A and B are shown apart, each in its own frame.
Chain A
Amino acid sequence: MPDTSAYRPTIIVIDDDESIREAIGDLLDSVDLESRGFATIQDFQSDTRPVHLGCIVLDVRLPGRSGLDFYEQYVRSPGAMPVIFISAHADVSTSVRAMKTGAIEFLTKPVRHQELIEAVQGAIAIDFERRRAQAEVEALKAAFETLTIQERRVARLAVTGQLNKQIAGEVGISEATVKHHRSNVMQKMGARTLIELLRMLDRIPPTDLPTA
């Protein structure tokens, strides 16, 4: 499991006004947060440097592609970071639309600096949590991949609460072999109890579960 806390967060600031980008960058710098400023969404999208942890601070009214249009597409992409919207004025319909699609904050210019800092820190925490959970799922998937076909079948039947005898009957192996597979499954997955195994299997999206 990769340790995401090892990465320094990076905040993406997208605003067409240079002095605002500069001001937000400096504010984030004052709380030891690294940021990258972009004048347009296109500039941000053509940036190839990876971001391991962070969030996006986005001006709703951007020239070219509207911030909201970009967001509605971006939020569905895998690995999307949390987005904080900044708007020139609290346009109700815009903010409702943004909130519905899951923007974590909607701030109105001029923004109180503490609010912005708190929103950014909150967004980083959310992103951290999201990435950690994602990493765990990846680890579980990797562990599950190490199971043999028979071990996978035994594991899936075991978590439904069936007894070894029943499993043996269903799979067509001896009860002793079932016991052996179960022990292997618990060891390979790193689960100490049956409940723990159940939770692990639940977290792997069904589409990612290799079929027996």
Chain B
Amino acid sequence: MAAATVMIVEDDRIVARDIRQQVDRMGYSVVATTGSGEEAVALARTVRPDLVLMDIRLEGEIDGIEAARQIRAGEGIPVIFLTAYGTEDIVRRASETDPFGYLLKPFEEPQMRTVIQMALFKRRAEATLRLSERRYSATLSSISDGVITVDEGGRIDFINPIAERLTGWTSDEAVGRHLSEVFLAVDAESRAAIEDPTARDDATPSFPQDGAMLLVSRHGDEAAIEARFSLIMIDQSSVAGSVLVFTDITDRLAAAEALQQAHAELADVGRLAEMGELAATVVHEVNQPLMAIVTNAGSCLQWLDRDPPKVAKARTAVERVIRDGHRAGSVVRSIHALVRRAPAQTALVSLNDVVSETVAIARRDVRRARIAVTLDLQRDLPAIMGDRVQLQQLILNLIVNAIEAMEGAEEKILTLSTRQAPEGVQLSVQDTGHGVPAAISDQIFDALFTTKEEGLGMGLSISRSIVAVHGGTIEALPRSGGGCEFLVNLPLTPGERE
């Protein structure tokens, strides 16, 4: 290790030479000697000695204490004061500059040696500590967590850039303030303030987890955070302060929510597909008893037409008609029960979103049928309580109905519009098809009523069930200029279930 370097600041040249000789004898290297405070400050900057021996009383603008202060603040070089006498005022001023020692004139070599060795040792220890502090500070400044450290009284002594951003307080403003002024957290559900962790006696307060805690910044912005709080212990019984570390989990929550949403949408598609399969099953399940009913009724007529009429046989046939009629009824009921059973999944839904989603689902069919679709969705429509999938099914049924109604029509325009109604929201689905004769406009919602060759007459019936479950009404009106308009009124909340 190279010899430690020393700068001597002494305006008495003879004293300066004496000191220099003594320091040389001790094996240290004197790299600069000056008699002026200003020059000492400048030399410290360029020569960077390990130690400064500083006379307090100097000629010139600044004395040794001021020069020492500037050197300490600028280069952090330890200073040993050299003084013949010490008044209380001088000692007080000198001690404020954090001196490494005093040497009283005249100097005795062993005393001088000890003071210099002590100062150099302290200097090395200080350098190590400073390095460690720099590392620690650089680490805390670059991590993505917010970090605030407080002293044993709960006053902030460090706040990193992330914590600055999240709290809205700069380091300069925050340091020295009590933690409770800067770090304001509330429970996401109840919005009750989270207790100041430093106000507690026990070591580790438990914060709400999983996005249940919001940090409110100085500007009123809120961020979902997770936080940990731990005490800095000097030994087993004394506390030097504490560290609060917190993480902004807004993005994580958003990602989790998006994932959940994606899952829900997948499940919805599944449920819609199920409904489609259901319809195919219904065709078969209802057709079978219908076939039996019609055939039995035919047999009954045949038995009655005999001469003489075979009444007992006819009666048996009618009994079978009744039995199979009930069988068909139970099939239809079970379909409706399936529809009714579902709204366990009631949530706030935007009718506009549901309309857009469903139109997207039906896009292929609409395009294939060469139908132009117009959407007229009122902005800022209030959300309603309902089952999204059922509402999708409702709208899909109305769209499919419209597609079929416009088969062969010259002009094919499907218009879906929403608007706010006195007691909720209103959906209108208009087609330019063949229209619904007034005589059957009530019947069309009945199960098994259909005007179509291939249809089973379940679509509008299921639609009516869905609307009923949501506490609303549905009606079919003739559209001015031809075609038909289905008007669905839905209240904001379903209210009493039927």
Distance in angstroms between the alpha carbons of A203 and B491 in the assembled complex: 80
From the candidates B324, B453, B454, name the one contacting A19 in the complex (CB within 8 A): B324
In the complex, the answer to whether B288 meets A17 with C-beta atoms within 8 Å is: yes
Q: Which of A175-207 contact B (CB under 8 A)?
A: none
In the complex, the answer to whether B291 meets A111 with C-beta atoms within 8 Å is: yes
Given contacts A30-B313, A112-B294, contact A23 B287 (CB under 8 A): no
Q: Is B317 an interface residue (CB 8 A)?
A: yes
Given contacts A17-B288, A30-B302, A89-B283, contact A113 B294 (CB under 8 A): yes
Chain B residues near A26 (CB, 8 Å)? 295-296, 299, 313, 316-317, 320
In the complex, the answer to whether A113 meets B295 with C-beta atoms within 8 Å is: yes
In the complex, the answer to whether B287 meets A111 with C-beta atoms within 8 Å is: no
In the complex, the answer to whether A110 meets B302 with C-beta atoms within 8 Å is: no
Shortest distance from the beta carbon of B268 to any chain A beta carbon, whole Å: 29
From the candidates B284, B297, B320, name the one contacting A113 in the complex (CB within 8 A): B297
From the candidates A20, A31, A114, name the one contacting B291 in the complex (CB within 8 A): A20
Distance in angstroms between the alpha carbons of A109 and B289 in the assembled complex: 10
With both beta carbons as reference points, the residue of chain A lying nearest to B320 in the complex is identified as: A23
Chain B residues near A89 (CB, 8 Å)? 283, 287, 454
In the complex, the answer to whether B298 meets A19 with C-beta atoms within 8 Å is: no
Distance in angstroms between the alpha carbons of A110 and B291 in the assembled complex: 4
Shortest distance from the beta carbon of B299 to any chain A beta carbon, whole Å: 4
Chain B residues near A138 (CB, 8 Å)? none
With both beta carbons as reference points, the residue of chain A lying nearest to B288 in the complex is identified as: A17
Shortest distance from the beta carbon of B319 to any chain A beta carbon, whole Å: 11
Q: Is B339 an interface residue (CB 8 A)?
A: no
Chain B residues near A113 (CB, 8 Å)? 294-295, 297-299, 301-302
Shortest distance from the beta carbon of B127 to any chain A beta carbon, whole Å: 90
Distance in angstroms between the alpha carbons of A31 and B303 in the assembled complex: 8
Q: Is B395 an interface residue (CB 8 A)?
A: no
Q: Is B292 an interface residue (CB 8 A)?
A: yes
Q: Is B290 an interface residue (CB 8 A)?
A: yes
Q: Is B293 an interface residue (CB 8 A)?
A: yes
Shortest distance from the beta carbon of A175 to any chain B beta carbon, whole Å: 67
In the complex, the answer to whether B320 meets A22 with C-beta atoms within 8 Å is: yes
Chain B residues near A27 (CB, 8 Å)? 295-296, 298-299, 302
Shortest distance from the beta carbon of B389 to any chain A beta carbon, whole Å: 27
Q: Which of B287, B299, B301 has the most chain A CB atoms closer than 10 A to its own CB? A: B299
Shortest distance from the beta carbon of A146 to any chain B beta carbon, whole Å: 49
Q: Is B306 an interface residue (CB 8 A)?
A: yes
Chain A residues near B323 (CB, 8 Å)? 19
**B-contact bits for A77-89, CB 8 A (1 contact / 0 none):** 0000000001011
In the complex, the answer to whether B298 meets A114 with C-beta atoms within 8 Å is: yes
Chain A residues near B303 (CB, 8 Å)? 30
Chain B residues near A154 (CB, 8 Å)? none
In the complex, the answer to whether A109 meets B302 with C-beta atoms within 8 Å is: no
In the complex, the answer to whether B288 meets A23 with C-beta atoms within 8 Å is: no
Chain A residues near B284 (CB, 8 Å)? 61, 88
In the complex, the answer to whether B301 meets A19 with C-beta atoms within 8 Å is: no
Q: Which of B292, B303, B327 has the most chain A CB atoms closer than 10 A to its own CB? A: B292
Given contacts A23-B320, A26-B316, contact A111 B295 (CB under 8 A): yes
Q: Is A104 an interface residue (CB 8 A)?
A: no
Distance in angstroms between the alpha carbons of A111 and B295 in the assembled complex: 7
From the candidates A23, A86, A112, name the one contacting B299 in the complex (CB within 8 A): A23
A-B contact count (CB 8 A): 84
Distance in angstroms between the alpha carbons of A26 and B294 in the assembled complex: 12
Shortest distance from the beta carbon of B374 to any chain A beta carbon, whole Å: 34
Distance in angstroms between the alpha carbons of A61 and B280 in the assembled complex: 13
Distance in angstroms between the alpha carbons of A19 and B327 in the assembled complex: 11
Distance in angstroms between the alpha carbons of A23 and B303 in the assembled complex: 13
In the complex, the answer to whether B302 meets A31 with C-beta atoms within 8 Å is: yes
Shortest distance from the beta carbon of B171 to any chain A beta carbon, whole Å: 77
**A-contact bits for B272-312, CB 8 A (1 contact / 0 none):** 00000000000110011111111111110111001000100
Q: Which of A22, A27, A29 has the most chain B CB atoms closer than 10 A to its own CB? A: A27
**B-contact bits for A25-67, CB 8 A (1 contact / 0 none):** 0110111000000000000000000000000000001000000
Q: Is A116 an interface residue (CB 8 A)?
A: yes
Shortest distance from the beta carbon of B283 to any chain A beta carbon, whole Å: 7
In the complex, the answer to whether A88 meets B302 with C-beta atoms within 8 Å is: no
From the candidates B290, B296, B306, name the one contacting A109 in the complex (CB within 8 A): B290
Distance in angstroms between the alpha carbons of A57 and B176 in the assembled complex: 97
Chain B residues near A24 (CB, 8 Å)? 295
In the complex, the answer to whether A109 meets B299 with C-beta atoms within 8 Å is: no
In the complex, the answer to whether B299 meets A30 with C-beta atoms within 8 Å is: yes
Q: Which of A84-104 contact B (CB under 8 A)?
A: 86, 88-90
In the complex, the answer to whether A110 meets B317 with C-beta atoms within 8 Å is: no
Given contacts A30-B303, A30-B306, A88-B284, contact A109 B298 (CB under 8 A): no
With both beta carbons as reference points, the residue of chain A lying nearest to B294 in the complex is identified as: A110
Shortest distance from the beta carbon of B78 to any chain A beta carbon, whole Å: 99
Distance in angstroms between the alpha carbons of A31 and B302 in the assembled complex: 7
From the candidates A19, A29, A30, name the one contacting B292 in the complex (CB within 8 A): A19
**A-contact bits for B428-445, CB 8 A (1 contact / 0 none):** 000000000000000000
In the complex, the answer to whether A23 meets B296 with C-beta atoms within 8 Å is: yes
In the complex, the answer to whether B454 meets A23 with C-beta atoms within 8 Å is: no
Distance in angstroms between the alpha carbons of A97 and B459 in the assembled complex: 30
In the complex, the answer to whether B293 meets A110 with C-beta atoms within 8 Å is: yes
In the complex, the answer to whether A109 meets B316 with C-beta atoms within 8 Å is: no
Distance in angstroms between the alpha carbons of A21 and B293 in the assembled complex: 12
Chain B residues near A116 (CB, 8 Å)? 295, 298
Q: Which residues of A contact B (CB under 8 A)?
A: 17, 19-20, 22-24, 26-27, 29-31, 61, 86, 88-90, 109-114, 116-117
Could you pull out 10 A-B pairs where Cβ atoms are within 8 angstroms?
Answer: A17-B288, A19-B320, A19-B323, A22-B320, A23-B295, A24-B295, A29-B313, A88-B284, A109-B291, A117-B298
Q: Which residues of B contact A (CB under 8 A)?
A: 283-284, 287-299, 301-303, 306, 310, 313, 316-317, 320, 323-324, 327, 453-454
The 5 A-B pairs of least Cβ separation, nearest first, read A113-B298, A30-B302, A23-B295, A110-B294, A109-B291
